[in-house]
Chains A and B, each alone.
Chain A
Amino acid sequence: MRNMRGLPLVVLFGAVQVYAQNLSFVTCPIVRDTKTIPCWLAEYKGETYYLGNQGGVAQDFYPPQLNHEVLVEGIVAQGARVCGGIPLRPVKTSVFLEINRACNTILPAEDEIEAPQSPPRPQTGDAVSWVRSDGPGDNTLYFDFDNDFLSIHAATAIQRIAQYFQQSKASEIQVAASRGSSRLSNGSVLIEDPKTVTARAAKVRDILTGLGVSPTAVKVKLNVDVREPDGLNDPWSRKVTLSVK
């Protein structure tokens, strides 16, 4: 991996495992009302986990969706329960596209359960962002499983890359899209549809060219090989890397 700034994230993700358990599972999400904003929870093997709060599009945590199952990938954090659940930090939630109407649990507010003002941070290091910058000409965007949605953070990162390309008079932007996989805690493995990889790269390319980058300057590379998931670093495998050359 050439992105040195990326390594601590991966190591951090792994290092936390020494003290805490990593979990990956597919479940119906649960929304818990509170006196203020709702919290998002998930149950796994009889335990309730806290995923995050309802927020806006500017936050890194995009809440799950009732009527859909969700893939939860996270680290069991130490400390008190949050909103009635054990916090997972960091955590990545991926909403499955198909509808499951069994996923419809809304819990009412309870006097003793409150949503945190701001979600707890990971035990070590900064809050995780799903956009990583390794310099003005190198950004990596991480995606939800089997999803090509670009958050406003990701879209803005692409805009910055386009601006840097235009200012630096560089000759090309490499767009490398990778296919992800995820090993669940029950041992089963999820592998992304290769079409998702193509769709992600196409979206990124379309934005770059729409922002004025010459189509001939955008070099797309698709990596649809199936990687071996490890149940730990899997959220970082679903990515598009942009490099200005």
Chain B
Amino acid sequence: MKKIRLIVSSLLCLTGLGVLVTPAQVSQPQFKWFQAGAGLVLPGELTFDNASGRLGILNADGPVNTKGHPFFEPLGVNGRACVTCHQPANAMSLAVGTIRERWQATKGKDPLFAAIDGSDNPSLPQDREASHSLLLNRGLFRVGLSWPPAQNPNPEFTVEVVRDPTGVNRDPVWGLKSAKPTVSVFRRPRPVANLKYVLAPDNGPFNVKLGVLLDKDPVTGKPVSMNMMADARAATLAIQAESAYRDHQEGKAQLREDQLNRIIAFESQVYAAQIFDNGAKSLTGAGGPGGLGPLNLLRETAGVLNTPAKPVFLTFDAWKTSDEFRQSVARGNEIFLNRTFWVKDVAHINSIGLGNPAKRSCAVCHNAVMSGMDRAPGWVDLGTTNYPTWTEPKTWNEAGELPVFKLTCRADVRPHPYLGRVIYSSDPGRALITGKCADIGAITMGQFRGLAARAPYFSNGSAKNMRELVDYYDRRFDMGLTTQEKEDLIHFLEVL
């Protein structure tokens, strides 16, 4: 593999892909929406314009013939393929703008809007825009999880549906009291790119946050990162692919081994990052920051922890004395790395031995080099889905879009460390898998790359743009960011 990568790297340099940056380069409009089963050849390098600049996609193994390829061909019954929700133009995720365009272009007939999870509730009339409001407004897909969880038939808490704007959680067929009791939450699709960083396990066999063993790959027996998916329910890409085939493509059989292998091979070699910014211009030119662009993601080693010698997104020193916009990006990086604030009441951060509160910076939690994820299993209760810090309206509001669950923990179990035994949540996150009170609201951190191509943000799509994302942190932790600091942070995030 190393040899192949060396060859690829050499070719990239020879062909100029290493620069993949010039503003004159034209985006490939034919790939702006990659239709499942289109059978096109996906080039080794692609660029896509977005509001902040331009995204670069790098297929490290070269062009991909998608004809018959299981990532690009519909495998289930609803016409979707993996690529339907993991579009190259959107950093292998799916932006809400793209979703709206598809609705307009197809009048809602695209398989993207499949009733099973592309609508608020499969029981609603599917031809109406209102029945797909969460997907159209926030880029959210329905994730139906069986309750109690298979992993823990005797969960530590009960679940009541106390608000159900979509009706799905009280639905007689799909709801919590149906023949197959199901809790439906709504989540953004995560980028299928740069996955070596997502999948790199922490050092050693332990989840250092909990003092227990990491989950293992059932095939190899080796520890896994537990950083994939919002609730870390899939240990490996193979498990994720199987479940996506069943749940999102409504596949009825089982993926063949060769199909799984091709899906995993593709997913393991695709890199996505901004390559051009309207303000900073070229992001990958000589002498610039070493962590930007997909080629640097290919080159760098995964599983490395943030240190002064190797900061999360490497150094922006060259831009500290550059033009005004680049200086702003460099300041944003400094804020991310070094500006401390009181991190408080974050389960699986404050509760793991750091103390509550802890005076820390962003990079202490977002500590994995090149991705900005947590090198340890990164599901934490930042507070986006649990009352009172959730992103939803704090007082009753008829515009409230997400379900609300009331979770009551048994008296004989450990309570949630900062919310106690009765918790209101729009998405209990990891707790729907483990059944543990301490995990309620814990959502796996997402990677920071290609953000400009895939708004909205947070697992519940609540931050329409980066300003709203930064504002949430500012409010949540009383950071007291100035307008300039917010701008700097946004500029920094945009170039990743």
Binding site for B on A (CB under 8 A): 31, 33, 37-38, 40, 54-57, 62-68, 97-99, 106, 149-152, 154-156, 159, 195, 203, 206-207, 210-211
Contact = CB atoms under 8 A, between A and B. Distances in A.
B414 A97 contact: yes
18 contacts: A31-B355, A31-B357, A38-B355, A38-B357, A56-B353, A56-B354, A62-B353, A63-B356, A63-B358, A65-B355, A67-B356, A67-B417, A97-B415, A97-B417, A156-B206, A159-B204, A206-B213, A211-B205
B420 A98 contact: yes
A159 B213 CA distance: 10
A152 B344 CA distance: 22
Interface in B186-218: 204-206, 208-213, 216
Which of A57, A68, A195, A203: most chain B Cβ within 10 A? A57
B351 interface: yes
B355 A207 contact: no
B285 to A, nearest CB: 37
A55 B345 CA distance: 17
Contacts of A150: 211-212
Interface residues of B, number: 30
Contact of A57 (B205, B353, B356): B353
A55 B205 CA distance: 23
A65 B356 contact: yes
Nearest to B223: A210
A206 B356 contact: no
B265 interface: no
A66 B212 contact: no
Contacts of B465: none
Contacts of B205: 159, 210-211
Interface in B370-412: 412
B418 interface: yes
B352 interface: yes
A195 B354 CA distance: 26
B211 A154 contact: yes
B320 interface: no
A95 to B, nearest CB: 9
A240 to B, nearest CB: 12
A154 B350 CA distance: 19
Nearest to B420: A99
Given A63-B354, A65-B350, 15 more contacts: A38-B355, A38-B359, A56-B353, A57-B354, A62-B355, A63-B358, A64-B355, A65-B417, A97-B417, A99-B415, A99-B417, A106-B357, A150-B212, A151-B211, A155-B206
Contact of B212 (A38, A67, A106, A203): A203
The 8 closest A-B pairs by CB, nearest first: A63-B355, A150-B211, A65-B356, A62-B353, A210-B213, A57-B353, A99-B420, A155-B206
A33 B359 contact: yes
Nearest to B342: A106
Nearest to A147: B414
B206 A195 contact: no
B206 A152 contact: yes
Contacts of B209: 57
Contacts of A55: 354
A152 B356 contact: no
Contacts of A156: 204, 206
A34 B263 CA distance: 52
A145 to B, nearest CB: 14
Contacts of A64: 355-356
B344 to A, nearest CB: 7
Contacts of A151: 211, 353
B354 A155 contact: no
A155 B412 CA distance: 25
Contact of A54 (B204, B355, B414): B355
A64 B350 CA distance: 10
Contacts of B417: 65, 67-68, 97, 99
Interface in B337-371: 342, 344-345, 350-359
A210 B352 CA distance: 22
B212 A207 contact: yes
A67 B355 CA distance: 11
A19 B206 CA distance: 41
Contact of A203 (B211, B216, B357, B419): B211
A62 B345 CA distance: 16
A49 B342 CA distance: 22
B351 A65 contact: yes
A171 B342 CA distance: 50
A152 B208 contact: yes
Contacts of A68: 356, 417
A97 B421 CA distance: 11
B195 to A, nearest CB: 25
Nearest to A93: B355
A151 to B, nearest CB: 6
Contacts of B206: 152, 155-156, 159
A210 B209 CA distance: 17
B205 to A, nearest CB: 7
Contacts of B210: 149
B208, B353, B359: residue with the most chain A Cβ atoms closer than 10 Å? B353
Nearest to A212: B221
A195 B351 CA distance: 21
